[in-house]
Structure 1
């Protein structure tokens, strides 16, 4: 979710100052995306620069409220009307971490998977606990956010199961051979003994899948 558009959506409800926006943002997202006040004011400054919000005079308490402009409403309407693309979302840090673990010497990839599985299972259990003790059953926004996080955790556990099964079949190519088969080429790139054997050149005759530095699928 874009903090920029999140603040615009909140200001569409009415004028608010920084701390009100932070509290409303965290409440609307079920406290799943905590914001610090610096992020709020930095984003407000950019929105004001772009003409999407207007800073109002300070109130008696010394707070400066903001209100959304017509340009801000147009920007917000466009955001709601535009589907979120996979390329617009943050990179999957876990997938990148496992991909790098496979190609980094000395890393126990199975331990990385198991540690993540334990953490994800704990998170899923906590989401389930929150759902059971939910004291605001009529708050649909909160329940949808919680459901989304539960579904994501369940999907991550299934993917980790897949990773673990793939690691059992994984055969890394020898570090001293760029092709993954010793003797596949002779001097100056000429065919070696392995390449001379038709069976040796058949990928289906190998001991396991060659996945290089990528996660096996």
Structure 2
């Protein structure tokens, strides 16, 4: 997730100060991606340097309010118009872990798969429970974030099924064979 672009999106709604940006970012993402306040101010500083935001006057409590600049709005518009490529996403640690487990001597790959399956199933259950408590009409952003996370967990479960099938066809025992 681009923190920079998320903050620009919030600033496109009007000027805000750092803590306000952090709170609204977390609310918009259903609190699934918490932000460190230092990260917010570091990002604001870089965006100011790059001409994307401009600091305003301090408010009565001493907080500096930032506003998006025309250059910042142009970058935000470009971000919204550009699809996210698979190559732009971080490496998948689970894929790397399983690839390494298959090649590392003495690793029970079936156990690695089963441990992940159990953890993913717990996550899926927790996300589904949280989603039931979301007001679908008034909290669309949070619902969409939770839906995405649920779909990703479901896809991970299907991929783990595939891994077990591949392991069964190779020399690696599957979880069913190790019971």
TM-score normalised over the length of structure 2: 0.91
The aligned residue for residue 177 of structure 2 is none
The aligned residue for residue 60 of structure 1 is 60
Q: State whether residues 124 and 150 of structure 2, in contact with CA within 8 Å, keep that contact through their aligned partners in structure 1.
A: yes
The aligned residue for residue 76 of structure 1 is 76
The aligned residue for residue 110 of structure 1 is 110
Compare the two structures and name the one with the higher strand fraction: 2
Compare the two structures and name the one with the higher helix fraction: 2
Deviation at 1:136, TM superposition (A): 5.4
Q: State whether residues 134 and 142 of structure 2, in contact with CA within 8 Å, keep that contact through their aligned partners in structure 1.
A: no
1:32 maps onto 2:32 in alignment: yes
Q: Where do 5+ consecutive residues of structure 1 fail to align?
A: 173-217
The aligned residue for residue 2 of structure 2 is 2
What is the CA–CA distance in structure 2 between the aligned matches of 1:115 and 1:22, rounded to whole Å? Answer: 34
Question: Which stretch of structure 1 is more off in the superposition, 22-31 or 54-63?
Answer: 54-63
How big is the alpha-carbon RMSD for the aligned residues of Structure 1 and Structure 2?
A: 1.3
What is the CA–CA distance in structure 1 between the aligned matches of 2:41 and 2:98, rounded to whole Å? Answer: 36
- Residues 3-34 of structure 1: CA deviation (Å, up to 9, x unaligned): 11000000011111111111100100111111
The aligned residue for residue 144 of structure 1 is 144
The aligned residue for residue 22 of structure 1 is 22
Deviation at 1:171, TM superposition (A): 3.0
What is the CA–CA distance in structure 1 between the aligned matches of 2:121 and 2:150, rounded to whole Å? Answer: 10
Q: State whether residues 56 and 67 of structure 2, in contact with CA within 8 Å, keep that contact through their aligned partners in structure 1.
A: yes
The aligned residue for residue 97 of structure 1 is 97
Q: State whether residues 30 and 145 of structure 2, in contact with CA within 8 Å, keep that contact through their aligned partners in structure 1.
A: yes
Number of aligned residues: 172
Deviation at 1:141, TM superposition (A): 1.6
Distance change >3 Å, CA 6–CA 115, structure 1 → 2: same
What is the CA–CA distance in structure 2 between the aligned matches of 1:82 and 1:108, rounded to whole Å? Answer: 42
Deviation at 1:45, TM superposition (A): 1.0
**The residue matched to 1:54 in structure 2 has which SS?**
strand
The aligned residue for residue 46 of structure 1 is 46
**The residue matched to 1:67 in structure 2 has which SS?**
strand
Q: Where do 5+ consecutive residues of structure 2 fail to align?
A: 173-179
What is the CA–CA distance in structure 2 between the aligned matches of 1:45 and 1:144, rounded to whole Å? Answer: 30
